[in-house]
Structure 1
């Protein structure tokens, strides 16, 4: 493991004390402007404006970049981490904050699959797997994955692969995926 350099690190020091640099620039530019105004009046103001522009150009560009990034993050906040699409079909996904599960909109899955999904049979087989929300019914991602794997269609197989890769796997992480695949290989007949 690399060791920290000994001594004073000016770059990291200034990263946390940028305001010192700003105050120093303001003081120097203010003093120079007052001196130029006293020495030559309005003609000295042109030189003072060039000095102010040169001193604060990098700070203004950095401020513009920061404001731009902040506005972009603010604009995308409503959909951040919740926008999913399969082959051009928007699929709504809700995160469960208590357990590491995700709930997928049944209507969106039916549209992406091109066939209706049997909500009634899913409710009978797994009573706790269907949840009603204001904007429709949502199904637990594990149940969706199991149901799609039972189907024989090519589109269902691709959708099952997409659900596993984009929805199921990120919610549970690498360890859960390995454990599930290990259990599936142990349960498979020889």
Structure 2
């Protein structure tokens, strides 16, 4: 089974370790998160791994979670963002909405809430993946049948089986 990838960015190692170990990631369809100690580290790791989901703290040194998410959304429009923070401030929530974050949760992070969020994200990613596969199947079918359709069209045209208004 293909697992989705997660990048976890937080400058508090203990918090990140707790999040990583609170959930059996593989049982819900995700690889164990890749850890980044700050926003700059997260940018580097995101460019290397191109994760499906980034879970980031808002306040971090060098590049904060909001700056990180804006950059990542520009580079990877389909990436999912989950914010977590110790700050329950409207401006942060407003900015999270602006960057189309999946969720904004407060520290301390509850394991069941986090698991539910990631299950919902997985369902969304599964639907997106299925839609892409369906488009690919249709494109392949179109490419395979186009020559036959063209041949039938031109044969009908040459043989006079089509009236001018049908063309």
State if a TM-score over 0.5 links the two structures: no
Could you state the TM-score of these two structures normalised by the residue count of structure 2? 0.30
Q: Which has the larger radius of gyration?
A: 1
**Structure with the greater relative contact order (CA < 8 A, sep ≥ 6): 1 or 2?**
2
Could you state the TM-score of these two structures normalised by the residue count of structure 1? 0.28
Greater share of helix:
1
